[in-house]
């Protein structure tokens, strides 16, 4: 007998057809809005779910007594109540490897655009204000040969480090929960505690997951440790940075600039100074937003779902403790 699966966000039609051959699919649109009641009803008999954007917490799990697998089509799992899922014996899976290269590309995009003031300079042309040669007041700074400090040297951090070191001849400094001998050997990466990394780096790239330990990791005191020419790049999660402190530092020109793909509140309100400061390049959380990457994310999520519902351990299992609780 086929198991029941709830699909609550967009996946490629061909993949949906493949899943429909193995499971009874219920597709729910707007699961956090008008489709909330339909989601709750569908969860009553669901064995698995696949999608992005629904917070599975104790209240929602109370409506899902048969649930075995929640296949998240995202790398981050900070929007899921992992403890609640584990208590209910529900496996949570994610897709960490699918987003690595695209997200690292965005880090380099932000570094280059912020350092070379690309958006600001492009606006001159768009507004018809390029009337004479660029003056020193409009110069940017080089990226090649600079010190690249990476906070969190996991998959994405390592991909950023490779681009910086091998592509731009950058010296890589890193801060992580443990030493990374492979990266130290292959790229000459050097470990630093966080204050030293902030003080020495020309570019500081944040790639850590959001947790209680990393929330507000970069605040007023940490920003004060950076070079006055230093550029902060955040491709992690918005709450890793104290946004109020960052705005103050940028407005006072205590740091050189910031390249941001994530924010405390998303979408970023147009009234935020981050939307208009000339020393900020802001992107609408596009780290994984390519067709190729999103397709791979959906396929990896589906693979995890299939494995879990077949009684096998999924490749990307976030909470292995759920296997004992089940």
Residues classed as catalytic: 237, 266, 285
Contact 287, 261 (CB under 8 A): yes
CA–CA separation, 216 and 245 (whole Å): 10
Reference 39, options 73, 6, 74; nearest CA is 6
Reference 260, options 248, 275, 244; nearest CA is 275
Cα–Cα distances (Å) from 316 to 79, 236, 293, 308, in that order, read: 17, 19, 17, 10
The DSSP output letter for 192 is: -
CA–CA separation, 326 and 310 (whole Å): 14
CA–CA separation, 241 and 235 (whole Å): 11
Reference 100, options 15, 170, 177, 161; nearest CA is 161
> What six digits make up the tokens of 162?
């490779």
Say which residues have a Cβ less than 8 Å from residue 183's Cβ, sequence separation at least 6: 153, 158, 161, 172, 174, 189
Reference 163, options 213, 109, 90, 218; nearest CA is 109
- Chain mean position to CA 91: 21
């Amino acid at each position: 007998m086929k198991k029941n699966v709830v699909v609550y966000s967009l996946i490629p039609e061909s993949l949906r057809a493949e899943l429909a051959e193995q499971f009874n699919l219920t597709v729910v649109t707007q699961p956090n809005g008008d489709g909330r009641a339909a989601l709750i009803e569908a969860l009553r008999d669901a064995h698995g779910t696949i999608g992005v954007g629904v917070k599975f917490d104790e209240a929602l799990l109370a409506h899902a007594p048969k649930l075995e697998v929640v296949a998240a089509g995202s790398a981050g799992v900070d929007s899921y109540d992992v403890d609640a899922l584990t208590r209910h014996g529900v496996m949570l899976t994610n897709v960490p490897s699918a987003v690595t290269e695209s997200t690292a590309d965005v880090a380099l995009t932000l570094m280059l655009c912020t350092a070379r003031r690309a958006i600001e300079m492009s606006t001159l042309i768009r507004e018809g204000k390029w009337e004479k040669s660029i003056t020193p007041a409009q110069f940017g700074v080089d990226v090649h040969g600079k010190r690249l400090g990476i906070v969190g040297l996991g998959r994405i951090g390592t991909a950023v480090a490779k681009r910086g070191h091998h592509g731009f001849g950058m010296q890589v400094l890193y801060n992580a929960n443990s030493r990374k001998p492979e990266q130290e050997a292959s790229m000459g990466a050097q470990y630093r505690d966080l204050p030293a990394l902030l003080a020495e780096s020309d570019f500081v790239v944040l790639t850590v997951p959001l947790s209680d330990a990393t929330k507000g990791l970069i605040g007023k005191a940490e920003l004060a440790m950076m070079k006055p020419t230093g550029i902060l790049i955040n491709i992690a999660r918005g709450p890793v940075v104290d946004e109020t402190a960052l705005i103050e530092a940028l407005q006072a020109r205590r740091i050189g600039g910031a390249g941001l793909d994530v924010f405390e509140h998303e979408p970023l309100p147009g009234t935020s100074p981050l939307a208009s400061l000339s020393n900020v390049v802001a992107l609408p959380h596009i780290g994984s937003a390519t067709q190729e990457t999103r397709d791979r994310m959906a396929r990896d999520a589906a693979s995890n779902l299939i494995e879990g519902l077949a009684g096998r351990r999924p490749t990307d299992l976030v909470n292995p403790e759920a296997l004992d609780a089940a």
